[in-house]
């Protein structure tokens, strides 16, 4: 009888022993899951790309630089290299019999823009009205102390009509260069204008 009671006690005690061991394993799982979640968040934070500033403003780089003054006796080239091998035509001859297309002209600079050197006027003793020179596509400037210098200009010469507004702007620039009051321009102005691709200026010796 006693051996039978001992066997029953052992059989009843076995399930209790199994139940007491299971909670230990279950309690460890939430901790592991929390650690794994923290590691995952850390990996996500490390993988996130850094925020960088956008590209710098290109306008400062595109701004045209002003050339320095010419030294006495200096010859300097501005713009594109000359492409015509022929000798330059005197300005008065170019005005009367200028060929179509690009030409090369020799003259003297009467006045130059004192703000940027973005235009100047050509003259000779045989020409009554100076010819204004502008740089193609506003692509380059010349030295602002070029008044009175010898110049060779390559580009295109054409008769043109300048609006009253533009003519007044030229008159004000000219007045600033001479220190005299600007003339009042009325109506459109007809004259010759040279669009230059390349310019060679020779400053007289002191």
Q: What is the mean pLDDT of the chain?
A: 76
H helices of 83-195, in order, are 91-97, 164-178
Task: From 146, 162, 132, 172, select the one nearest 72 (Cα to Cα).
Answer: 146
* Structure confidence at residue 24 (pLDDT): 45
Residue with the two structure tokens 């110049």: 151
CATH number of 72-202: 2.40.50
Tens-digit pLDDT profile for residues 128-180 = 889 999 999 999 999 999 999 999 999 999 887 778 888 888 778 777 766 77
Q: What share of the chain is helix, strand, coil (3-state, %, to 5)?
A: 35, 25, 35
3-state secondary structure of 65: coil
Tens-digit pLDDT profile for residues 82-100 = 999 999 999 999 988 766 7
* Structure confidence at residue 51 (pLDDT): 36
Indicate if the pLDDT at residue 65 is higher than 90.
Answer: no
Indicate if the pLDDT at residue 17 is higher than 90.
Answer: no
The domain spans of the chain are 72-202
Q: How far apart are CA 153 and CA 103, in angstroms?
A: 8
Residues written for the chain: 206
> What kind and span of H or E run contains 152?
strand 150-162
Indicate if the pLDDT at residue 192 is higher than 70.
Answer: yes
């Amino acid at each position: 009888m006693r051996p039978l009671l001992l066997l029953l006690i052992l059989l009843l005690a076995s399930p209790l022993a199994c139940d007491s061991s299971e909670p230990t394993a279950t309690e460890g799982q939430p901790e592991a899951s929390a650690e794994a979640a923290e590691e995952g968040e850390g990996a996500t934070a490390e993988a996130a790309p850094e925020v960088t500033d956008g590209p710098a403003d290109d306008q400062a780089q595109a701004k045209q630089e002003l050339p320095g003054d010419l030294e006495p006796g200096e010859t300097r080239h501005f713009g594109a290299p000359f492409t015509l091998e022929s000798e330059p035509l005197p300005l008065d001859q170019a005005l009367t019999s200028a060929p179509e297309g690009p030409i090369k002209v020799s003259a003297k600079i009467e006045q130059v823009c004192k703000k940027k050197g973005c235009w100047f006027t050509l003259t000779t003793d045989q020409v009554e009205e100076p010819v204004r020179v502008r740089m193609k596509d506003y692509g380059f400037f010349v030295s602002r102390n070029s008044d009175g210098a010898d110049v060779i200009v390559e580009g295109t010469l054409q008769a043109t009509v300048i609006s009253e507004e533009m003519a007044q702007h030229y008159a004000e620039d000219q007045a600033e260069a001479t220190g005299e009051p600007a003339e009042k321009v009325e109506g459109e102005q007809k004259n010759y204008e040279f669009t230059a691709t390349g310019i060679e200026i020779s400053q007289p010796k002191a």
